[in-house]
């Protein structure tokens, strides 16, 4: 089964105060760190919910403002249109991306137990998610996980979720200097 990589990046970054994806960690934008780590695991990567130079960009679906599930919905529809069987999702603001993320998640739907945006989702769920978004007031990943029966998979990675400039400074100290 061919898997599309999708970086969910449509958030407003209110706590960060500026463009989080473009924030530099050791001189490299966060988005590029994530893309470099994801690239060996999938044949194609898209950025969902925003534009990013040099990468295919996919809009949230059914519209912007649906949160991470709008990004997932856009990625699932794109994956179906391109013949992919599943989507491997990550956020643009969480590092490291495990080098064995796809393998570790196994069959989807599945998420990393401590980072629900790191997930593997069958592309066949595209219409189901779009209908769910139209009917449910709950826009949480947790609600969607429960609806689909997504498995929570343990992962040894020590994730750093970068939501503030202080978090970025902490990430520079905590993350492996060899981070891609």
60: closest CA among 47, 77, 73, 51? 73
DSSP string, 9-43: -----TTT-S-GGG-EETTEEHHHHHHHHHGGG-S
Binding site, annotated residues for Mg(2+)? 93
Report DSSP state, residue 124.
G
Q: Is residue 42 part of a domain?
A: yes
Q: How far apart are the first and last CA of the chain?
A: 26
- Tell me: cis bond preceding 59? Omega within 30 of 0 counts: no
Note the pLDDT tens digit of each residue in 37-94.
Answer: 999 999 999 999 989 999 999 999 998 888 899 999 999 999 999 999 999 999 999 9
Query: Domain containing 36 — which CATH number?
Result: 3.90.550.10
Binding site, annotated residues? 8-10, 20, 60, 93
Q: What is the mean pLDDT of residues 147-173?
A: 87
User: Is 18's pLDDT higher than 70?
Assistant: no
Binding site, annotated residues for GTP? 8-10, 20, 60, 93
Q: Is residue 180 part of a domain?
A: no
Note the pLDDT tens digit of each residue in 106-120.
Answer: 999 999 999 999 999
Q: Is residue 53 part of a domain?
A: yes
**Considering the entire predicted model, what is its pTM?**
0.92
* pLDDT reported for residue 16: 60
Domain total in the chain: 1
Q: Is residue 165 part of a domain?
A: yes
Report the alpha-carbon distance of residue 98 to residue 92 in Å, rounded: 14
Q: Which domain holds residue 146?
A: 3-174
CA atoms within 13 A on the CB side of 98: 21
Note the pLDDT tens digit of each residue in 128-159.
Answer: 999 999 998 888 999 999 999 999 999 998 89
């Amino acid at each position: 089964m061919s898997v599309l990589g999708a970086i969910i990046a449509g958030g407003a970054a209110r706590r960060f105060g500026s463009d989080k994806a473009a924030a530099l960690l050791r001189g490299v934008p966060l988005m590029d760190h994530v893309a470099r780590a994801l690239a060996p695991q999938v044949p194609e990567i898209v950025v969902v919910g925003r534009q990013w130079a040099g990468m295919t960009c996919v809009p949230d679906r059914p519209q912007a403002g649906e949160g991470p599930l709008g990004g997932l919905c856009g990625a699932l529809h794109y994956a179906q249109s391109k013949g992919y069987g599943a989507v491997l999702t990550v956020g643009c603001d969480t590092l490291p991306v495990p080098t064995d993320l796809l393998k570790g998640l196994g069959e989807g739907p599945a998420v990393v137990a401590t980072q629900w945006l790191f997930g593997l989702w069958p592309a066949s769920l595209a219409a189901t998610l779009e209908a769910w978004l139209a009917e449910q007031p709950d826009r949480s990943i947790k609600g969607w996980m429960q609806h689909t029966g997504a498995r929570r998979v343990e992962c040894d990675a020590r994730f750093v979720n970068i939501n503030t400039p202080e978090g970025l400074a902490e990430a520079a100290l905590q993350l492996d200097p060899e981070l891609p």
